[in-house]
Amino acid sequence: MRNLELYFENPFDNIVASKEKIIKFFDHHVNSLIQRKTEGVNLDALIPPSVDALAALKTSLQETAIKVAEQISKTLTVDECIELFVAKAKDFEAGVRDKYKKDSPVYKEFYPQGMKLFNHITKKNIEEVMAQFISAFDVHQADIGVAKFNELKQIRSSYVLARATQEQKKTETLGKRSSWEDNLKKMNTQAFTNLLTIVQLHKAQPQKAKIYFNQSIVARPKHNQDDQEAQPLTEKIAPNTTITPDMIYSADDTILLSNVSDSASIYWYGGSTANEAPNTKPTELLPGEEIEIPAATLGKYLILLNKDTVNTAEVEIMLV
């Protein structure tokens, strides 16, 4: 005898698929209900709440996509501020060295570790390094130049604003993702109610399930040839290292990339070769964040970069 407890569990809570495929799956289900009603099957009690639940789920998907795109754009702005600051620090080094000599105490006010700090900038230390560097320019601006001091202050102001905006967008994005999860739970619950009713209508006719639920839409693909049900694929990325996960995917797949690191951001981009350098700026994924990436936008390989010079990053990857 089968374990009866299994029939009390909601099978839809166990779907592992992209949001787009989940929408497609429930779209098919709701349309099937409507079609069967026109054929005389009594489904009047199921259709209105199912239509409403699906509409809410679709709306939350659109809102989430917009907020994720906005968050990524703000992340790039933060990165650009950091890169500009580092570039200026390197540009100004020769002038400071000529003015004060490299072994002088004043030079060390600007570059206490030489160029080492600026070659290993992270989001953890950028604000401290900015403050120290700009303070040195403030004290010695008469010798070094007021224009350079003002330029650095402007970069820091831009960074502070960009970082604050990024954090705000991150909070908004998390809220929208929570909205998706809440609406998905409601959709799953309604689908379970529908399933129980459908079983009651078609007792001992398991073949009827295919009429209402196309499970192939949310079937889980494999990562690679040796993969059985290895979901998710977990990868650790050493500090200041780039990796190319062992994956096989098609242009129709969606990759769910989750940064499960404690503190390290990861950066991702696509390439036509496994060791390809990025043609465009890699996209940052903050710790605790996830993103769905259409495989068609990547090319043949997903490439992951950990810019952190201290912490190992860890990611989970799912073909959905």
CB 301 within 8 A of CB 272: yes
pLDDT at 37 over 70: yes
1 occurs within a structural domain: no
* pLDDT higher at 207 or 289: 207
Q: Within 10 Å of residue 255's Cβ, how many Cβ atoms? A: 24
194 and 138 fall within a common domain = yes
Among 190, 218, 246, the domain boundary falls at 218
CA distance to 147, 163, 275, 279, 280, per residue, from 272 (Å): 44, 33, 9, 11, 13
- Eight-class DSSP state of 262: S
pLDDT at 54 over 70: yes
pLDDT given for residue 247 in this prediction: 83
Weakest-pLDDT range from 65-69, 75-79, 217-221: 65-69
Weakest-pLDDT range from 7-21, 63-77, 174-188: 63-77
Q: Which residues pair with 283 in a beta bridge?
A: 268
Number of domains in the chain: 2
pLDDT at 65 over 80: no
138 and 20 fall within a common domain = yes
Weakest-pLDDT range from 78-82, 158-162, 223-227: 223-227
228 occurs within a structural domain: no
147 and 250 fall within a common domain = no
180 and 282 fall within a common domain = no
146 and 250 fall within a common domain = no
Per residue in 86-116, pLDDT (tens digit) is 888 888 888 888 888 888 999 988 888 888 8
Give me the CATH number covering residue 266: 2.60.120.10
- Eight-class DSSP state of 99: H
Supply the mean pLDDT for the chain. 84
Query: Closest by alpha carbon to 86, among 55, 132, 48, 120?
Result: 120
196 and 83 fall within a common domain = yes
315 occurs within a structural domain: yes
CB 46 within 8 A of CB 33: yes
Among 153, 186, 218, the domain boundary falls at 218
10 occurs within a structural domain: no
Cα(first)–Cα(last) distance of the chain, in Å?
33
pLDDT given for residue 211 in this prediction: 93
194 and 136 fall within a common domain = yes
pLDDT given for residue 227 in this prediction: 54
98 occurs within a structural domain: yes
170 confidence band (pLDDT: 50, 70, 90): low
Question: Which residues touch 125 (CB under 8 Å, ≥6 apart)?
Answer: 117
162 and 54 fall within a common domain = yes
77 occurs within a structural domain: yes
CB 274 within 8 A of CB 316: no
42 occurs within a structural domain: yes
Reading the block at residue 234, the tokens are 């977990």
194 confidence band (pLDDT: 50, 70, 90): very high
- Eight-class DSSP state of 305: E
Among 157, 189, 218, the domain boundary falls at 218
Mean pLDDT over 182-186 rounds to 93
Q: Which residues pair with 155 in a beta bridge?
A: none
When mean pLDDT is compared over 150-159, 170-179, 192-201, 217-226, the highest value belongs to 192-201
Mean pLDDT over 35-62 rounds to 91
164 and 286 fall within a common domain = no
Using alpha carbons only, give the angle 286, 131, 158 rounded to the nearest 5 degrees: 60
Instruction: Tell me the residue range of the domain where 240 lies.
Output: 233-319
Q: Which residues pair with 316 in a beta bridge?
A: 234, 258
Mean pLDDT over 309-315 rounds to 90
pLDDT given for residue 154 in this prediction: 85
Conformational region of residue 139, where left means phi above 0, alpha means psi within -120 to 50, and beta covers everything else: alpha
pLDDT given for residue 76 in this prediction: 52
pLDDT at 230 over 50: no
170 and 80 fall within a common domain = yes
CB 259 within 8 A of CB 290: yes
pLDDT given for residue 117 in this prediction: 81
Percentage, residues of the chain above pLDDT 90: 28
48 and 115 fall within a common domain = yes
Q: Which residues pair with 115 in a beta bridge?
A: 113
158 and 74 fall within a common domain = yes
Strands ordered across the beta sheet of 301-306: 241-243, 301-306, 266-271, 283-285
When mean pLDDT is compared over 2-6, 113-117, 187-191, 308-312, the highest value belongs to 187-191
pLDDT at 68 over 70: no
213 occurs within a structural domain: yes
